[in-house]
Amino acid sequence: MEADSTHTSDQASDSLRWLYLDMNSYFASVEQEMNPALRGKPVAVVPLVADTTVCIAVSYEAKAYGVKTGTTVGEAKRLCRGIRFIEGNHENYIRYHHRIVETVESCIPVEAVCSIDEIACRLTGSQRDLQKAEALAMKIKLAIRRNVGATLRCSIGVAANRYLAKIAADLKKPDGYSVLLQADLPQALHSLGLRDLPGIGPQMEARLLARGIGSMERLCSLSAREMADAWGSTCGEEIWHLLRGEDLAIKESERKSISQSHVLPPEFRHDQGALQVLKKLVTKAALRMRKEDLWASSLQVFVKYQGQDTWKARCGMIETQDTIDFVHAIERVWKQAPAGAFYAVGIILSGLVPDALHAPSLFDDPRRDRLTKTLDRLNERYGKDTVHFGATHESAGLAPLRIAFTRIPAEDENS
């Protein structure tokens, strides 16, 4: 494992606030962990074994031949004759994901599960010392190998904010450790490419290039206002502050959670009625969250009973703003709810982060995203509940159109 930390503890003590963990070639590594015959061999994970499909994850042995995420199966065969193609199994990756989160939790509290293979942790107290932060990173790496899988590797970055810590984690792969100190910013970023920044994809890169912004050094020379203009949104200004080591989590504390609650009408004071109202509440909360460009990684359900104590249950999630994900989470949590005389129910979405800090998952479905945003626009234009998910129709009131998406599987459902 590689480490890059050349500064003194005194230099770092005030600037190290976040640790970011990124599993290396995660899906391919899980396949190698489950099947020892694949270890040390070139492996590509694909949605379907066909020459026209693309690799969604590639082992480092395959990367050595030039095979990358997004390479077609046909091209991968040409580049690497001995490559093995494995059809991805989401359930296996989720199972290992939970074990990794539990292992990291045994070393340091997890602040946010950013994606299936990325985790962010806030450093506190003595953990912010440079040497102790490095020792903590090495402890996490060793714990994952011992408790989850000997073939699993991760890169860890430490920096002043979560955004920079993610960038640091990308600097040395596989199995690396890197530090970005606030005193070295933004000059320490000048050698990176524009696409190395989270939030800059092909379209955003083209937009920047069209404005004459072709390098990180040029980007870092912009003012906060110029960054906002370049992005066409306040996201650009947020990134300007992040690149200079400001920890916007302080600003985010103004919005730590989004909650909805409701006293149940008498006709809904039963198991199915309470569940339907909960689904409606989480639908409203998810809409509020999307309007504020936020993502959540935790959902809590609470139930008030007549003459009984309030019941609460929490469900950790991969960061999402998708109503369907929240509805499925509600259904899973509700199975634990004790019977009783229901009086009121509520939900809380927490672990909120803005778009600039969200790490997309390879399993994100852009069609789902477009669908959800289309529903939002229709309801905004024609009135709430004009279009809604079938799972909430009992509590949604009258609606001219109902779309039911009852067979999109939850994470823990079998196909």
Q: Where in the chain is the domain with CATH 3.30.1490.100?
A: 254-395
Q: If one looks up domain 254-395 in CATH, what number appears?
A: 3.30.1490.100
Please name which of 303, 213, 308 lies closest in space to residue 264, comparing C-alpha atoms.
Answer: 303
Q: What is the pLDDT of residue 233?
A: 83
Q: Report, at the CATH architecture level, how domain 1-182 is classified.
A: 2-Layer Sandwich (3.30)
For 187-244, give the CATH class.
Answer: mainly alpha
Would you write out the chain's pLDDT as a tens digit for each of its 415 residues? 555 544 444 444 558 999 999 999 999 999 999 999 999 999 999 988 888 888 989 999 999 999 998 899 999 999 999 999 999 887 888 889 989 999 999 999 998 888 889 999 999 999 999 999 999 999 999 999 999 999 999 999 999 999 999 999 999 999 999 999 988 988 999 999 999 998 888 888 999 999 999 999 999 999 999 999 999 888 889 899 999 998 875 444 346 788 898 888 888 889 999 999 999 899 889 988 888 888 888 899 999 988 788 899 988 888 888 888 899 999 999 999 998 889 889 999 988 888 777 766 655 555 666 666 666 665 565 555 545 555 545 545 422 222 222 222 333 333 3
Q: What is the pLDDT of residue 2?
A: 52
Q: Where in the chain is the domain with CATH 3.30.70.270?
A: 1-182
